Structure 1
Amino acid sequence: MISSVLKPAAQLASTNAKRFPNESAEYRRARQALLVEEIELRRHIAHVAELRRALPPGGEVTRAYEFIGESSAASLADLFGSKQTLIIYSYMFGPQREKPCPMCTSFMGTWEEKLPDIEQRVSLVFAARSPIARLIEAKKARGWTRHKVYSDASGDYTRDYVSRDDSDVPGYNVFTRHDGAIRHFWAGEMGAGTVDPGQDPRGAPDLDPLWTLLDTTPEGRGADWYPKLSY
């Protein structure tokens, strides 16, 4: 039986034998202290995920939402496919936009290659407010072949689960289906009102590994650089 009692992070860090050429004693002391914090962060991420999984049942979906897919119309239930869990990422590509949001595009570009893995467990689709022809055109322009894109032409879903004002903002929602009932499970709720000083709005942990990778560098993610559609 695996013990549920965690050893102190400092004790685990003390077992670290990694050393690198020409590092100073000052560097090693600071790095060991940072390792303790990294272990604590890993544990906190796991704790938050556990709390998320333990949420009580969310609100039942009783409204009939219709999306326009690449070949036909689809209900919310259709988007589940054979899975019991559905993720809908609503990206910023409303009719008023000439091109899709670069940040959303960066997210989606990362997930393109991961979809075969993700879809072993859950369904993941992408929705936006533009007509489906525009979504298909933009998808082809990026060379994406795995994304399932849907137009929320009426805006009913967007107004209920992304923005009451039908604003051009992103949204990440998770739904579950059990015993014939569809319920909302979780959504990203961190935004402009929850930012800390000097930060852009972000969730935790970041869903885009772009920022996680940059956080491991001395330059960091910065405050004046953002992805572009082309370079």
Structure 2
Amino acid sequence: MTSSVLKHASELAKTNTNRFPNESAEYRRARQALLVEEIELRRHIERVAELRRALPPGGEVTRAYEFTGEAGVASLGDLFGSKQTLVIYSYMFGPQREKPCPMCTSFMATWEEKLPDIEQRVAFVFVARSPIARLIEAKRARGWTRHKVYSDVSGDYTRDYVSRDDGDVPGYNVFTRHDGTIHHFWAGEMGAGTVDPGQDPRGAPDMDPLWTVLDTTPEGRGKDWYPKLSY
């Protein structure tokens, strides 16, 4: 995106002719001002995505990681399948946890229906530290059929790319493979140290559209509400 050729967001906002029954002049002024910010937000999201795509190669993966999946043992390279890019979402379901994390489950439930689309472009798998039988049981309990789940039995991958002390925390990592060589490409690095006052630690943009939807409502995402495994 070349900012020099873009019209000012306020000019684009002026082209908006939407009006709704019985709205006040005060509402329309505020809504038009908000529209300007929404246009700027869209542009900023695209700028960030461009910067991400332009990253130089990350560190080469030289360690032989092994995972246990539903079909047996697999290497990191195996997880790519025929794709050049691999996304690994590490979810919070370690051996010490009685049930999967509700927040991770919310993410994964959303992606269940989008995996056929995502996998047209890249490989996408899910990794946790519990034994594979436990991951399969939890997957079936949710009615998920599309998730490719793997157990990081040794914890080597988790300690290198998610939590150095093997903590039960989430992680989102992207890897690329060219001419047989695997490099780390990008990981979510926003956390407790990057949070603004009054916010929960989260990345940007939110991967879970749950929050995007709630952000369009007067109730918003709230300060103390979180999704549950069941209601």
TM-score normalised by L of structure 1: 0.98
SS in structure 1 of the partner of residue 116 of structure 2:
helix
Measure how far apart 1:3 and its partner are: 10
Say which SS state the counterpart of residue 5 (structure 2) adopts: coil
Unaligned runs of 5+ residues in structure 1 are: none
AA in 2 matched with 1:43: R
* Residue of structure 1 in register with 2:83 after alignment: 83
User: Displacement of 1:71 after TM fit?
Assistant: 1.6
1:124 matched to which residue of 2? 124
Structure 1 partner of 2:151? 151
Give the Cα–Cα distance (whole angstroms) in 1 for the partners of residues 183 and 226 of structure 2: 35
> Aligned equivalents of 2:3 and 2:13: distance in 1?
19
Alignment partners' CA distance in 2, 1:25 and 1:186: 46
Structure 1 distance, partners of 2:176, 2:118, is: 15
Partner of 2:213: 213
How far the C-alpha of 1:186 sits from its partner, in A, is 0.1
CA distance in 2, matches of 1:122, 1:212: 23
- In 2, Cα distance between equivalents of 1:113 and 1:40: 30
Separation in structure 2 between the aligned mates of residue 33 and residue 157 of structure 1, nearest angstrom: 47
Instruction: Tell me the equivalent position of 1:229.
Output: 229
> What is the aligned partner in structure 1 of residue 65 from structure 2?
65
Over the matched positions of the two proteins, sequence identity in percent amounts to: 88
Measure the CA separation in 1 of the matches of 2:58 and 2:94.
28
Q: Provide the aligned length of Structure 1 versus Structure 2.
A: 230
> Which residues in structure 2 correspond to 1:32-47 (within 5 Å)?
32-47=32-47
Question: Partner letter of residue 167 of structure 2?
Answer: S
Q: How far, CA to CA, are the matches of 1:4 and 1:67 in structure 2?
A: 48
Q: Displacement, 1:189?
A: 0.1
Q: Residues 122-164 of structure 1, C-alpha deviation per residue, up to 9 Å, x if partnerless? A: 0000000000000000000000000000000100000000000
**1:179 Cα shift?**
1.3
How high is the TM-score relative to the length of structure 2? 0.98
SS in 1 for 2:74: strand
Q: Distance in 2 between matches of 1:203 and 1:105?
A: 17
Aligned counterpart, 2:180: 180
The DSSP-based 3-state class of the residue aligned with 2:182 is: strand
Shift in Å at residue 4 of structure 1?
Answer: 6.7
Matches of 1:23 and 1:116 in 2, distance apart?
42
SS at match of 1:86: strand
Cα deviation 1:36-90 (Å, max 9, x = unaligned) = 0000000000000000000011000000000000121100000000000000000
Is the partner of 1:114 in helix, strand or coil?
helix
Distance in 1 between residues matched to 2:3 and 2:10, nearest whole Å: 18
**Whole-angstrom CA distance in 1 between matches of 2:203 and 2:223:** 16
CA distance in 1, matches of 2:174, 2:26: 46
Q: Which runs of at least 4 in structure 1 moved beyond 2 Å after TM superposition?
A: none
